[in-house]
Structure 1
Amino acid sequence: MKNVAKKAYTNVSDLAHYLVVRVIPFREDHKIIGNILLFAINQLIQFEKMSLV
C-alpha cells in the first residue's frame, strides 16, 4: 500500500499548500503543480525523489 501511495504523488498537496502560502494564486499554483507532475510522469520519476534544486 505504501508503494501505491508513493506512486499516487501524495506530497503534491503539500507542495500546493506551500505555494499558496507563498501568495501564489490558486490558478497559477494549479498550473505549476500540473507541469511538475507531467514532467515527473514523462521522465518516470517519483515525485518524492525530485529535488527542489
Structure 2
Amino acid sequence: MSGPMTGFADFNFTAFKDMAGTLRAAGALEHQPEDEAPKVGFADWKPARAK
C-alpha cells in the first residue's frame, strides 16, 4: 500500500488504517507504513529516496 504521508496530520495514518481495513475485509494481504514506523521511530526515519 502506498500513498501520501508528508504534510498530512499524523503522517496520514488514518487514511492508511481505513484502507487497510477495507483491503483486509476483502481478503487481501496488505502492508502499511505504520507497521514499520513504531520499530524505527519517525524522528529518525528517512525515506529511501532521500539517500
Q: What TM-score, normalized by structure 2, do the two folds share?
A: 0.43
Which of the pair is proportionally richer in helix? 1
Q: Which has the higher contact order (CA 8 A, sep 6+)?
A: 1
